[in-house]
Chains A and B, each alone.
Chain A
Amino acid sequence: MSDDLTIILTAGLVATAAGLLGPFLVLRRVALMSDAVSHAVLPGIVAVYLLFETRAPLPVIVGAAVFAVVCVIGIDLLRSTRLVASDAAIALVFPALFALGVLGVTEFASGAHLDLDATIYGEIAFAPFDVWAFGSVEVARSIVLLGAVVLANATLVALLWKELKATTFDPEFSRTIGISPTLLSRLLLIAVAVTAVTAFESVGAILVVTMLIVPAAAAYLLCDRLLAMIAVTLGIGWLSAVLGHTVALRADASIAGSMGLVAACCFVLALVLSPKYGLLARALQRRRRRREVRAALAEAHAAR
């Protein structure tokens, strides 16, 4: 497999894993939980290194997931006191956990292979160099891991499709039919955490957060059905991966950054050009209606 292909595939898998969850985050108005969870897992990664002296992906993912759950539950607890609004609760909990992680890194692990840059800014350009051998076939580790996450997320969304849909659309109704919105929300955020952590390692935090929020937000401007929204989200994600890679090669710039920029451009296009909810469409519609009203009024006056 060529290096370029590996990079594109890795990014595409990140886009897929994130794109399956992102629409639910955007619709539930917790898009920023992805940013929060992505940062809150740092102490988990550090703790695993300190306790077991390993950076092997599985233990790291488990350790990070533990802190993702701590983050989610901490935010829930703070919010449930009704003394702190939910956005403030997010803004309090994740920096605290992140701070814990930074302290851990600088205090205990300095000099080891666990530096902040590698943890937070895993670099997608290095993805092809880290391979696992299966018999005679060598596959990039990131592809294996992310493939597994895509599979897990797809299973989760497929199995809990109607539960996720119902709790997101109408939580109160869901409770009356015995589907707990809290449980679904926790499951979703744990999936976000596992996705984020796994993807971190290979592509860096910012691309994960971008892929979780931006394509879904763009799709939200384009779609009237949930299934379509997820499909469009995935499409935009892959487009960003492929185009972003090309741009990065041409401009000799950061691959993750370029992919993020392409996704951002997609959002801007959707914002302006969406046939139904776009700025342009709505401005035209407004103008047309105004013209119609004026014509109708003129007619009425003439008839009188």
Chain B
Amino acid sequence: MGWLIDLLPLNYSDAVVAIGAALLGIAAGALGVFAVLRQRSLVGDALAHAALPGVCVAFLATGAKDATTLLVGAALAGLVGALLMVGIERTSRVRPDAAIGVVLSSFFSLGIVLLTHIASTNDANQAGLDTYLFGQAAGLLERDLDVMAVLAVVALAVVALAFRPLKTTLFDPAFAGAVGLPVRLLEIFMTMLLVVAVVIGLRTVGAILMVAMLVVPAVAARQLCNRLSLLIPLAALIGAAVGVAGALIAARAEVPTGPVIVLVGFAVVLATVLLAPGRGVLWRGRKLARDRRRALVEGVLVDLETTIHAGPPPTPRELALASGRPRRQVARALSALDRAGMLARDGERIHLTESGAAAAHAVLERRDLWSAWLEHGWKLRLPDAREPDPTDLRASLGDDCADELRRLALAGDGGGAAGDAGQGAR
């Protein structure tokens, strides 16, 4: 890792921390995807807490505060905790959330007891064991980086090699079992990978903040893409970026690394949840507003057309009354129609211009077609699995089908709303 440290335009300790955060981001990002997609995001929380007794036992067994030994101890304890969680969930009526909670608090209690036991045996060497829970990224050593790099590479390689069975198990465990994949083994295996990620993270950001490191990249990447094969590398990338950005900001501002990384990650998640194209809250909100507005304007347009068809041109007030809509909505729709040049005003009374009438007829025809689809759609043989889009049946089903539907509708009973609308369209 020395070459990388020299390469970065940072002082030595900042470079070590930045590289560590990047390694952590990669591993946690890739592995967190599995936890998040299985809706076990908080497993990381339990595993992180379960690591404490592992660290203590490892220390008690070897008497040395060696990073590798402690990591192995933490990983073993995490694994035991993970197996217990799965076991409790499988064999009893206790639900996943409570199973995670029970393992978390039991193991942590055990850890605290062991910690006090170690302290009371008065070993001067014990100080600092519990920093594993808070994370002291500034205390990272170059040697720690090697351990982290190895763990991260192994985890990534395993995900890449076992990608297909993992994906199948994740998506459809019943199918995976039916085609002979060892589902339980794979599930345990996925949890093991998670344990690895948590153990890597404990030292960099600490137990509680490690939870976020697992979840942030997966959630952010999920907003941006739909395919698992893309999701994992993307999550790893986001994880690395968040880690490095957090570490650099923390170094610049001279504040602790872990919290900054987590806050940067949270900001990234918020940004993707709000802005992700096609999915984001703002994006959907704008589309919803547009759809609503369009439905309103089209509705008022059709109401106007039918009112004119039946009698004298109405005033806005009469139109609102006839269509049963609030007057403010009608007024808003009318002004939109006016701007589009579809209205002609005759004092208080409103007419449709030629383009307005044409637009009204187009809307009526679309509705007509949809009515015909609901009624006669089953008679059509669609060439493939295309699905009707109620707002624009012609575009979604193709001209042939639309014409056929019209023919069926006209040949049919001709009664009801479909018939009325049909007349309007002609």
**A34 partner, pick from B44, B101, B214, beta carbons under 8 A:** B101
Residues of chain B from 1 to 56 with CB closer than 8 A to chain A in the complex: 36, 39-42, 44-45
Contact A91 B42 (CB under 8 A): yes
Interface bits B52-66 vs A (CB < 8 Å: 1, else 0): 000000000000000
Q: Tell me if B239 counts as interface (CB < 8 A to partner A).
A: no
**B212 partner, pick from A95, A206, A271, A279, beta carbons under 8 A:** A95
Q: Tell me if A102 counts as interface (CB < 8 A to partner B).
A: yes
Q: Which residues of A contact B96 (CB under 8 A)?
A: 29
Q: Which of B102-110, B170-178, B325-333, B392-400 contacts A (4 or more CB under 8 A)?
A: B102-110
Q: Which residues of A contact B260 (CB under 8 A)?
A: 99, 103
Contact B112 A221 (CB under 8 A): no
- SS of B interface (majority): helix
Interface bits A209-223 vs B (CB < 8 Å: 1, else 0): 110011011001100
Interface bits A71-91 vs B (CB < 8 Å: 1, else 0): 000000010010111011011
Contact B104 A35 (CB under 8 A): yes
Which residues of A are in contact with B by a Cβ distance under 8 Å?
26, 29-32, 34-35, 39, 78, 81, 83-85, 87-88, 90-92, 94-96, 98-100, 102-103, 106-107, 116, 206-207, 209-210, 213-214, 216-217, 220-221, 251-254, 256-261, 263-264, 267, 271, 277, 279
Contact A107 B41 (CB under 8 A): no
Residues of chain B from 292 to 351 with CB closer than 8 A to chain A in the complex: none
Chain A-chain B contacts (Cβ-Cβ < 8 Å), number: 193
Q: Which residues of A contact B209 (CB under 8 A)?
A: 95, 98-99, 102
Contact B101 A214 (CB under 8 A): yes
Q: Tell me if B165 counts as interface (CB < 8 A to partner A).
A: no
Nearest residue (CB) in A for B111 is A257
Q: Which residues of B contact A220 (CB under 8 A)?
A: 93-94, 98
Q: Which residues of B contact A96 (CB under 8 A)?
A: 212, 262-263, 265-266
Q: Tell me if B255 counts as interface (CB < 8 A to partner A).
A: yes
**Contact status of A83 and B281, CB under 8 A, knowing A206-B112, A271-B92:** yes
Q: Which residues of B contact A94 (CB under 8 A)?
A: 208, 211
Q: Which residues of A contact B116 (CB under 8 A)?
A: 252-254, 257
**Contact status of A87 and B39, CB under 8 A, knowing A92-B216, A267-B102:** yes
Q: Report Cα–Cα, A35/B98, bound state, in Å.
A: 11
Q: How far is the CB of B310 from chain A (nearest CB, A)?
A: 40
Q: Report Cα–Cα, A263/B108, bound state, in Å.
A: 12
- SS of A interface (majority): helix
Q: How far is the CB of A289 from chain B (nearest CB, A)?
A: 17
Q: Tell me if B76 counts as interface (CB < 8 A to partner A).
A: no
Q: Tell me if B223 counts as interface (CB < 8 A to partner A).
A: yes
Q: Which residues of B contact A107 (CB under 8 A)?
A: 255
Q: Which residues of B contact A214 (CB under 8 A)?
A: 101-102, 105-106
Contact A32 B97 (CB under 8 A): yes
**Contact status of A264 and B219, CB under 8 A, knowing A85-B36, A88-B41, A220-B98:** no
Q: How far is the CB of A111 from chain B (nearest CB, A)?
A: 15
Q: How far is the CB of A166 from chain B (nearest CB, A)?
A: 20
Q: How far is the CB of B203 from chain A (nearest CB, A)?
A: 16
Q: Which residues of B contact A260 (CB under 8 A)?
A: 105-106, 108-110, 112
**Contact status of A253 and B117, CB under 8 A, knowing A85-B39, A92-B266, A99-B209:** yes
Nearest residue (CB) in A for B209 is A95
**Selected A-B contacts with CB under 8 Å, 14 pairs:** A31-B101, A32-B45, A39-B208, A84-B273, A91-B45, A92-B212, A96-B262, A98-B262, A103-B259, A257-B112, A257-B113, A260-B106, A260-B109, A261-B106
Q: How far is the CB of A284 from chain B (nearest CB, A)?
A: 14
Q: Which 6 pairs from chain A and chain B are nearest by CB?
A: A260-B109, A257-B112, A264-B106, A99-B259, A95-B212, A210-B105
Q: How far is the CB of B190 from chain A (nearest CB, A)?
A: 16
Q: How far is the CB of B212 from chain A (nearest CB, A)?
A: 4
Q: Which residues of B contact A277 (CB under 8 A)?
A: 92-93
Q: Tell me if B286 counts as interface (CB < 8 A to partner A).
A: no
Q: Which residues of A contact B279 (CB under 8 A)?
A: 83
Contact B215 A264 (CB under 8 A): no
Contact B101 A217 (CB under 8 A): yes
Contact A91 B41 (CB under 8 A): yes
Q: Report Cα–Cα, A85/B36, bound state, in Å.
A: 8
**Contact status of A35 and B106, CB under 8 A, knowing A92-B212, A95-B262, A96-B212:** no
